[in-house]
Amino acid sequence: MICKYTFLMLKLRLKIEKRLILFFLVLIVNIILCDNVAAQSGDKITTVVIDAGHGGDDPGAVGRKSKEKDITLKVAKMTGEYIKQYCPDVKVVYTRTTDKAVSLRRRAQIANENDADLFISIHCNAVASTSPHGVETFIMGEHKNAANLEVAKKENASILYEDNAEEDYGNFNPNSPEAYIMLSFLQSEYKNASLEFAEHVQNQLVKRVGRHDRGVQQAGFLVLHQTAMPSVLVEIGFLSNPSEENFLISKDGQTYIASALFRAFRDYKKAYEKDNAVEGPIYEQQYSDADTDTDRVVYKVQIDSKNTKIDNPSQHYKNLKDVDCYEHNGQYKYTAGHFFTKKEADDYCKTVKTKGYADAFVVSFKNGKRL
């Protein structure tokens, strides 16, 4: 009886000691993280890491005419050049500058090794249907719906191309929903800052470039959870959507996207340095909106007008492409198509009328506003 009692007491003592050790380890980690965050306070944004998604044997999303890895590389390099030109006080680091494979772990390491203040991962989307279109910006977090989980699965599947995946990521299975439960507990210490930058990105892509807004989202991305700074993953469009693919492979389209990412960075940098009371004058970019030529007119075909908003306009007008909605004079106006020349819009308007929209007409937008 005494032996049994002694054994139980010893077992209880070991449990308590283990919990105390775990408690102090967590406490130490939190202190270190807080010190790191505090150390950044008052600092300028001096280093940004730009990550072109996929590469090498990993093509990423594939469209009819393009591969994600090629588009993301061009946009990443162009974004970096804008930052170098208009924010010369910022160091720009790329995770890749050629068509080569870089592991997700190594991408995060590059950001951490360079003490980056911001990490921007650029990607393209693709699904089975040709209807979905638009842009969305992700931060590290728990996916709220099945669609977000599928995006995370697709991007995390890059590890299947890596030779040391098991060594680098343990038993993580990018296709297992259960694997994302653990990632949801590993949300970044920099979630609020990541969210702020993500909102800047969406604002620029939607209002200035005229892309369809799919919002700021959360999901479990390996490349984001391993970075020790504010980080976002931007899906700049769907290669499975013919019109959007044409936009993304065009020089103009890539210029507009890169310009929007630069503008988002510029606005975030300015706000960050103001909020953190940087000593001395905040660097003011000598920058003109005309320099990147994103103020072009966009033409769309207006097809309908409603007093109430339709929940899923793409499904409602499923025989049309690039369906979008804008509010005007208290009503919800629905448009189809997205063109940079009046002739293209006029031609598509004729097609739309043959599909039953006899009253369709062309409308124009600039910086997201109807002219």
Residue type, 293: D
Q: CB under 8 Å to 137, separation ≥6 — which residues?
A: 198, 199, 201, 202, 205, 216, 217, 232, 233, 234, 235
* Residues β-bridged to residue 336: 301
Rounded CA gap, 332 and 233, in Å?
31
CA angle 213, 214, 218 (to 5 degrees): 135
Mean pLDDT for 51-77 is 95
Rounded CA gap, 231 and 281, in Å?
26
- Alpha helix segments (H runs only) across the chain: 2-40, 68-86, 104-113, 146-156, 165-169, 179-184, 191-203, 222-225, 242-249, 251-275, 313-316, 342-354
261 in Cβ contact with 76 (< 8 Å):
no
* Domain formed by 296-370, architecture: 2-Layer Sandwich (3.30)
Domain spans, the chain: 43-275, 296-370
Q: Which of 100-104, 174-178, 203-207 has the lowest mean pLDDT?
A: 174-178
Please name the residue that has the structure tokens 């061009």. 74
Rounded CA gap, 241 and 322, in Å?
8
DSSP 8-state class, residue 119: E
Residue type, 165: A
Q: Give per-residue pLDDT as tens, 321-339.
A: 888 888 888 899 999 988 8
Q: Give per-residue pLDDT as tens, 164-198.
A: 655 555 555 555 554 544 444 444 568 889 999 99
Rounded CA gap, 32 and 42, in Å?
18
Q: Give per-residue pLDDT as tens, 289-317.
A: 434 445 678 889 999 999 988 888 888 88
Average pLDDT, the chain: 79
70 in Cβ contact with 62 (< 8 Å):
no
Q: Give per-residue pLDDT as tens, 242-280.
A: 999 999 999 889 998 999 999 999 999 999 988 776 554
Rounded CA gap, 60 and 62, in Å?
6
| Predicted confidence (pLDDT) at residue 363 exceeds the cutoff of 60 | yes
Q: Give per-residue pLDDT as tens, 3-33.
A: 544 444 454 455 545 554 544 454 444 444 4
| Predicted confidence (pLDDT) at residue 137 exceeds the cutoff of 70 | yes
DSSP 271-306: HHHHHTT-SSPPPPP---GGGGT---EEEEEEEEEE
The yes/no answer on whether domain 43-275 falls in CATH 3.40.630.40 is yes
Sign of the alpha-carbon torsion through 203, 225, 155, 315: negative
List C-alpha distances in Å: 321 to 23, 60, 257, 328, 355. Answer: 55, 24, 21, 21, 12
226 in Cβ contact with 116 (< 8 Å):
no
Written as six digits, the tokens of 39 are 């150390």
> CB atoms < 10 A from the CB of 295, how many?
12
The helix (H) or strand (E) run that includes residue 231 is strand 231-238
